[in-house]
Amino acid sequence: ILLIFASFIGACAGSTGGGIKVVRVLLMFKLAMKEIKKFIHPNAQINIKLNHRSVTEDTLVSVWGFFSLYVIAFIMILIALMFTGLDQVSAFSATAASINNLGPGLGEVAANYGGVSDTAKWILSFSMLLGRLEILTLMALLHKAFWRF
C-alpha cells in the first residue's frame, strides 16, 4: 500500500516515469509554504525560486492545473472501473498502477489483469496512455485546434 501511495510522486522532469513529476510536487509544496507565509504576513512579497530563478505565476498556475486534471482523471477512471465490476481496492490500485506506470495492484489485480473485463482493460489502457504521455499532452492531441493546421 505504501508503494502505491509513493508512486503518485513520479520521476524527474523529462523522463517517461509516471506519477506527478518531482519538480511539480516541489513547486506545489513551495506555493503552499508561500501561502502560509502570506497568511502570517499579508503584505509580504514572496517569490518562489527554483534553481535560484523566480518561478512565474503562469508556471505555478499550470502546475496546479496539471494537478487538478490528474486528480479529476484519476477519480473518473476509478469510478469507471468500479462501474465495470471491480471492488474499490482493486479499482483504486489498478488506476494507480496504470496511470503511474507502477505494475501490479492489489485485490483482484494483484497477480495479473486476466480476470478483469475487456471494458476495464480498455479503460486501463487509456489510463496507461495518460500516465505515460502525461495528461496535458494527451489533452492537446485530442483537442480540435491541434489538428486544424
pLDDT digits (tens, 9 = 90+) for 101-115: 877 778 777 778 788
Instruction: Quickly tell me which residue has 487509456 as its cell.
Output: 126
Q: What is the pLDDT of residue 72?
A: 92
- Kindly report, residue by residue over 135-145, the tens digit of the pLDDT: 777 777 777 77
Instruction: Quickly tell me which residue has 517517461 as its cell.
Output: 16
- Kindly report, residue by residue over 41-91, the tens digit of the pLDDT: 988 888 888 888 888 888 888 888 888 888 999 999 999 999 998 889 889
Q: How close are the terminal C-alpha atoms of the chain, in Å?
A: 46
Between 132 and 41, the higher pLDDT residue: 41
Q: What is the pLDDT of residue 104?
A: 76
Give the confidence band of 129 by pLDDT, cuts at 50, 70, 90: confident
117 closest CA partner among 96, 91, 89: 91
- Kindly report, residue by residue over 27-41, the tens digit of the pLDDT: 899 999 998 998 999
The H-assigned helical ranges of the chain are: 2-6, 22-40, 57-83, 88-99, 118-133, 135-142
* Cell numbers found for residue 25: 510536487
Q: What is the pLDDT of residue 149?
A: 67
What's the whole-number mean pLDDT along residues 13-31?
82
Contact 95, 88 (CB under 8 A): no
Q: How far apart are CA 128 and CA 137, in angstroms?
A: 13
Q: How far apart are CA 124 and CA 73, in angstroms?
A: 12
